[in-house]
Amino acid sequence: MSALAAARSVLGRDLRRARRRPGDLAQPLIFFAVVVFLFPIAIGPQSELLRSLLPAMLWVAALLALVITLPDVFAADYADGSLEQLILSPQPLALLVLAKITAQWLTGALPLIGMSAALGAVLGLETTVWRAVLLGLLLGTPVLSLVGGLASALAVGLRGGPLLLALLTLPLYIPVLIFGTSAARNAGLGLAVEAEMFFLAGLSVLALTLTPFAIAAALRARMG
């Protein structure tokens, strides 16, 4: 089996596993929707204030919802012993890891982006801001998934894994959050957002280049 065929096999297996557990797929979406709808209740009927805060609300809710999905990246493979098989495979572990992170992004981040689009429209987000939020999420969530995958690899098999993951990932997510919310704010003011989008794209490329190898090394260190 070639390396690409092995990566496709890992990707397909993780996608099939996710489809067999619809409750796990729905959990972050429900959490995301609850967090977003709690803000209008707390703020009150101040529509202008709500519209100004909505992009940041969507970003923070999406970030926290993604953290919920991180323990599942390697937990099932660790539990059934297939993680050792991935590490011992003759195929490049970094490529197999990238396939797993891709599956996590497709089943975790992509549905959140779709729900962000729906909630932004329902809550009356301006079109330019709505587009900036969605584009920012498309460019920024790969960084969140890749960095979260690294934290998940470091915490696999440890007690208190979810809490440790939150402590490891949330500080590293701050640059993405800053650029994403800044782009939405600039869009609302009629300013250019290209600079923030280029930064998010650059962070994604950097994370895509480096983190699969870091995750592979972390898994070998944890399982060695």
Parts of the chain with a pLDDT under 50? none
Distance in angstroms between the alpha carbons of the first and the last residue of the chain: 25
Contacts of 97 (CB under 8 A, 6+ apart): 86, 149, 153, 212, 215, 216, 219
State residue 161's pLDDT score.
63
Query: What pLDDT is recorded for position 160?
Result: 63
How many domains does the chain divide into?
A: 1
Domain that holds residue 121: 3-223
pLDDT at site 197:
96
- In the chain the beta strands, taken as DSSP E runs, fall at none
Report the pLDDT value the prediction gives residue 164, as an integer from 0 to 100. Answer: 75
Distance in angstroms (rounded) separating the CA atoms of residues 97 and 10: 9
208 touches 75 (CB < 8 A):
no
For 41-56, what is each residue's pLDDT tens digit? 887 766 777 778 889 9
- CB contact at 8 A, 142 and 69: no
Predicted confidence at residue 12, as pLDDT, reads: 93
Q: What is the pLDDT, as a whole number, of residue 222?
A: 80
For residue 224, the model assigns a pLDDT of 66
Predicted model pTM: 0.91
